[in-house]
Amino acid sequence: MAIYSILVLTGQSSATLLGRLYFEKGGKSKYMAALVQSAGFPILIPLLLITSSKNKPTRPENLALPALYICFGTFLAFDCMLYAIGLMHLPVSTYSLLCASQLGFNALFSYILNSQKLASFIVNSIFLLTVSTILLIFQPGPPGAGTGTGGKFALGLTCTLTGAALYAFLLSLEQLAYRKVLKGQTVNEILNVIFYESQVTSCLLLVGLFGSGEWRGLKDEMEDLN
């Protein structure tokens, strides 16, 4: 758990900074910015092999499991696009604070979908995050240099906040699926859900990258960065 927490904190921080740097240096591809959020799933293959050799999880023997992965992956692809648009138009400080509102949404959806009790410290955290978000929304203008203004700032704010809410909803749905569909929550089951939903997400975003024509500008972006 400690290793996982460290990887999440360092990985998410680095990804946010690199994503913002990509847009500041002239990057324009939203699909590419969204794709890198899920394209690292092959790194889980060794862990899947290790855990699958130790455990033989009970899985549904029908189409429920593939359908679950496809639904989760499609949902995550849309969410990654929202985060990419938000990072494109917001400074890192504003973006990070809005992403932190996911903690409040986690508590809300866990209470609704998974009957998770709301402790006092969770309620306090939700209140503080809500107040911080409201202050951001009603501030005079977009803070930070190199970000969008006016409508673009509002678009980035809306997309990021919506993305945080939807990702929290997705996590609660996954937790519900462990109980209702997978009938367990072993390490192997968790890795399988992450691996296959990320695979679906990456495929959908690749289709979007080539279908939208954004791939044509990637070569010029790389040459400009060099």
Q: Which residues contact 23 (CB under 8 A, 6 or more apart)?
A: 33, 87, 88
Runs of H (alpha helix) within the chain: 2-24, 30-35, 45-54, 64-89, 92-100, 102-114, 120-137, 151-180, 187-211, 218-225
Q: Which residues contact 157 (CB under 8 A, 6 or more apart)?
A: 86, 90, 94, 98, 136, 137
pLDDT interval class at 160 (50, 70, 90): very high
Distance CA 194, CA 40 (A): 11
Distance CA 50, CA 53 (A): 5
Tell me which of 55 and 113 has the higher pLDDT: 113
pLDDT at 80: 95
Which SS3 state, helix, strand or coil, does residue 191 take? helix
pLDDT at 139 over 80: no
Residue type, 164: A
Q: First vs last Cα of the chain: how many Å apart?
A: 39
Q: To the nearest whole number, what is the mean pLDDT of the chain? A: 82
Tell me which of 96 and 8 has the higher pLDDT: 96
pLDDT at 138 over 70: no
Mean pLDDT computed over 10-26: 83
Place of tokens 């903690």: 103
Q: Which residues contact 213 (CB under 8 A, 6 or more apart)?
A: none
Tell me which of 121 and 169 has the higher pLDDT: 169
pLDDT at 167 over 70: yes
pLDDT interval class at 146 (50, 70, 90): very low
Q: How many CB atoms lie within 10 A of CB 75?
A: 19
pLDDT at 219: 84
pLDDT at 222: 80
Mean pLDDT computed over 123-137: 64
Domain ranges of the chain: 84-172
pLDDT at 48 over 80: yes
pLDDT at 225 over 70: no
- Nearest Cα to Cα of residue 54 among 166, 188, 156: 188
pLDDT at 61: 55
Q: What is the pTM of this model?
A: 0.85
Report CA-CA distances (Å) from 157 to 6, 88, 197, 198: 27, 10, 26, 25
pLDDT at 105: 86
Would you put residue 91 in left (φ > 0), alpha (ψ -120 to 50) or beta?
beta
Q: How many CB atoms lie within 10 A of CB 147?
A: 21
pLDDT at 108: 84
What token pair was written down for 74? 């499609």
pLDDT at 149: 64
Mean pLDDT computed over 190-202: 93
pLDDT at 226 over 80: no
